[in-house]
Structures are given as structure tokens and as C-alpha cells.
Chains A and B, each alone.
Chain A
Amino acid sequence: MKDYIYLDHAATTPVDPRVVEAMLPYFTERFGNPSGVYTLSQSSHGAMEEARETVADVLGCSPGEVIFTGGASEADNAAIKGGAFAMRREGNHLITSAIEHHAVLHSCQALDDYGFETTYLDVDAAGLISPEDAAEAVTDRTVLVTIMLANNEVGTIEPVADISRAVKERAWALGRDIIVHTDAAQAGGVLDLNVDRLEVDMLTLAAHKFYGPKGVGILYIRDGTPFTPQQHGGSQEKNRRAGTENIPLIVGAAEALRLAVEEQGTNNEHCTSLRDRLIDGLVGRVEGAYLNGHRTLRLPNNANFCFDGVAGESVLLGLDMEGIAASSGSACTSGSMDPSHVLTAMGVSAERAVGSLRLTVGKSNDGEEIDKVLEVLPRIIQRLREVSGAAQPVG
């Protein structure tokens, strides 16, 4: 057994050694700037275009519709601001949900200063967004709708295609066209990413969520979609994202996506069984334990709970001392004191949200590790409940 149990795959994943292998030559021998005319540059350029084709195959689009970015946050910023600015003569209204990643929420908020307004759609208790609510929110000023494909905290999978169809039909009825973007960062190599089946105009991915390197993202922009670049400079990425392309990371992102999609069936099955072992081993067995998110419409890797009478942070420390890495809420929000905006939007009370714990499994976890967690975690909770005075029998 490894010296620690990693259960935070929604935060990031280790890079697959095969991906590292694919990247290595582009740091050293094949380091050329892809804009050059000499052979060395052409080798970089070729690798980049091959990577683009690999990604396009997965998304079911043409390679020219794929842009490589510095991560999912950059892709979200570029999509939302780039779409909104390009459409500013058509309107100033955006629609998103209350449970988006901060890369989306804060991008929308940043647009307030430029005269845009955003509607934040409510979710139900399982974290689902209703296509009808989305359609109703469309006005004659709406320019862009952005809804995540799967939530990073509670793992709920959103009906993005239904939402897209609903908002577009409503917009067409009003005689206008709108852009639909989805942040699919949690769904790479896990869910169907075909942009036509998802019926989206823009889509965001982050390589480090599917065993690729950090700091590289993918933004799909459907041909003909209005887009104002957010980063100016050279003519890279067909003038949509300036800056010398990061060839090793781009090669790594594409190879990671290719492998993740190739092994998607096996990995999903493996993760689902570990996830369900966690859920079944805790909910109903530990008093005052609740599952957050949808029981079935959820990512195969995500188990998210609230435990009465404890604070999530203390549980994390307790787990860390046993060599188990987990998170409470989303890694990005753990620095803040406020309860998770996702749980709050789902109607979880502030009292209960304090005790939230996210366990996200990955391809290298095994049943033995899950059993260790099922043995250790109830003990930690019991001990913390004795300290808080909320002691309840466990087991």
C-alpha cells in the first residue's frame, strides 16, 4: 500500500507516466517556437496541431475550433468575457447558476463593472438546474448562458443539452441568438464531451483533472461564435489567445485526454464502485451522515457528505494525520471562512455545511484504501463529536 491515500482527485490528479513520457521531448530536444520556419519549429508546430486534432476528435469538432489556454480558469474567463464583449451591442444579460466554479462566478461578477447583469439560477436540493428556469430567465437582452457540465464540489451532473436547447429556443422565439458555454472541467475523460450532443458553443476543460499537467486548459469555440480575445499580442491561436504556445503542456493535455477517453469505461466503472462503497459505508452506518448531491446523476468519482456535530476542517486534519488526503468543499474555497456557496445554494443550512467532506476517488485507488477510510473516518468523527458535545453512537 502507498504511504498515503489520495482522495482529492476533483482538486487535481497525478500526471500519468505515459503523459510525462509524451511531454518530455518537447522540453529539451524539440523546444522550437512553433511560429518559426525552420525544421525545429515545424516539429513543435506539428506536435501542437496533432494535439489539437486529438482534442477535436474527442469533442467532435474541427481542430480550428480548439484553443489551448493556461487552464480552466483562463478558458472560463476568455469564454465568458470574450463572448459577452463580442455581443455587447446585442445585449448585456448573462445567465449562470449559483453553483458554478468561482472562475465562472467571478468572471460574471467582473462584467458588472462593464454594464452587464447576471442572473444566478437556483438549484434544487440535489444541485440540479432546471432547463425551464433557465429558459424563463432569458430576456431580450440575454447574450450568454454558462452552465457547468458537472459540479466540482458535489458532483451533480447538469442537463446541459436540455438547458442549451431550452434557452436557445426561448432566445429564437425572441428573435435573437445567444452563446451557450459549459465548464466541463470536472467531466474530462468521464462524461461524453461531444459538443454537438451537448449543444454548446463553447466548452472548457483542464488537463490536470484527467491525469494531465496543471496550467493547461482547453477552450472550444464553435465556428462563427462571436468572440473578443481577452489576451492580445502575437497571432497565436488564430488571434484568439496571444503568447508562445506551451508545447509540452499542450502535448500532455492532448495525450492525457486521449488516454482518459480510451480508458473511460474501465475507469468510470472502477471509480463508481469505490464511490458507492464509500457512500454505502457511511450514509446509514454513521449517525448524522448525509450525502450531498444527486444519488445517481453524479460524477463516478465524487462522494460528498455532511456530518453533524463536527467541522470539516477538523475532519481533514484528522484524516491527514492518518495519511488520507481529502477536502472540505472545494480546494479553492477552503481558504475562506464562509460556508460553501454550492451547499448553501442547495439549501444545506450553515450549521450542517460546516461539517462537509468531499472524497473524490481516482484510477489508482483500490478497495483496500476505501476500507481503511471506512474504518478511520467514523472514529475521527466520533472523537470530534465528543469534543463538540454532539457525541452520537457511530457504527
Chain B
Amino acid sequence: MKSALLYRYMPRYSTKVMDHFTNPRNVGVIEDADAVGRERNPACGDTMTLYLKIRDGIIVDARFQTLGCTASIAVSSVTTELVKGKSLEEARMIDRHCLGDAVDGLPPGKTHAGVLVADALKAALGDYKTRAAPDTA
């Protein structure tokens, strides 16, 4: 990364964050998704939509669209990799701490990007439950 100037106000991101920011994995929409989770942080305005494809209780595909800062894009990207192949139970265990660790940590002031993505994941899993049992929702 040819970073000539990093300012005080520019958080120092880990190599992993910069990697996922520069080359985000699994960007886009799953048209026939089995679950969709959308979250917006009203303070900073960052918005994430997570699409999941689920087969026999296993997440087989994940895609995302994120309008946000470097951290929220990178955590979104890492999350899609993280959840693929996981069971719904395993996915439910993923919280903002796991997501922060998955990008080798977020700078102070940027940890709420992990919250945004964790909330979008939670929303997607909730959406799946609702779709599976609409009456009890």
C-alpha cells in the first residue's frame, strides 16, 4: 500500500482491513436469498445489507452491499467469508468481538463497524427464522 500520508484522524487500519477494503470478497446481491439483513447506523450513516443462502441449516453462500467507511466494508467482506459453511447455530455465536478479531482488530473509534455488521448478521438470521415460521413471528 502506497500510503504517503496517514493523518491523526485517519485510523490506522490493520493489513487485513486494508486487504478486504481494497479487494472486498462476495460483493453483491443474492437474488433468491433465503435471508436478508439490513442495518444502518443512524449516527454515521453506514449501511450494510447481508444476503444469505441457506441449505439444511448451513450457510452455503453470503454476499453483501455496504455503503460505509473502510472498516465497515472490510468487516462486511470478512463476515461473508466467515459465515460460509457455518451452521445457523454457529453463525448465531458470531458477535462484534469475533468480527473485530477476524480483521486483526479495529482502531479505536471504529469498533462500531463491527456492531453494524454483527447487527446485520443477526437481522439476517432473524429474517430466516421469520420466513421459516411466519406464524410465530
A and B bound? yes
Using a CB–CB cutoff of 8 Å, the interface residues on chain A facing chain B are 3-4, 6, 309-311, 313-314, 316-317, 320-323, 325, 331, 334-335, 337-339, 350-351, 353-354, 384, 386-390
A-side contacts of B47, CB under 8 Å: 388
Residue of B nearest to A332 (CB): B9
A314–B70 CB distance below 8 A: yes
B-side contacts of A354, CB under 8 Å: 44-46, 67
B10–A386 CB distance below 8 A: no
B-side contacts of A338, CB under 8 Å: 43-44
B69–A313 CB distance below 8 A: yes
A311–B10 CB distance below 8 A: no
Residue of A nearest to B70 (CB): A317
B70–A313 CB distance below 8 A: yes
15 interchain pairs, CB-CB under 8 A: A3-B4, A311-B68, A311-B72, A313-B69, A320-B5, A322-B2, A323-B5, A325-B5, A331-B7, A351-B45, A387-B27, A387-B66, A389-B28, A389-B49, A390-B67
Assembly CA distance A321 to B24 (angstroms): 16
Assembly CA distance A354 to B66 (angstroms): 13
Other A-B contacts than A309-B67, A314-B70, 18 sampled, CB-CB below 8 A, are: A4-B4, A310-B67, A316-B10, A317-B10, A320-B5, A323-B3, A323-B5, A325-B4, A335-B9, A337-B41, A337-B43, A354-B45, A384-B73, A386-B27, A387-B24, A388-B47, A388-B67, A388-B68
A-side contacts of B41, CB under 8 Å: 337
Assembly CA distance A118 to B41 (angstroms): 31
B43–A334 CB distance below 8 A: no
Contact A320-B67, Cβ < 8 Å, known A339-B45, A386-B27, A387-B24:
no
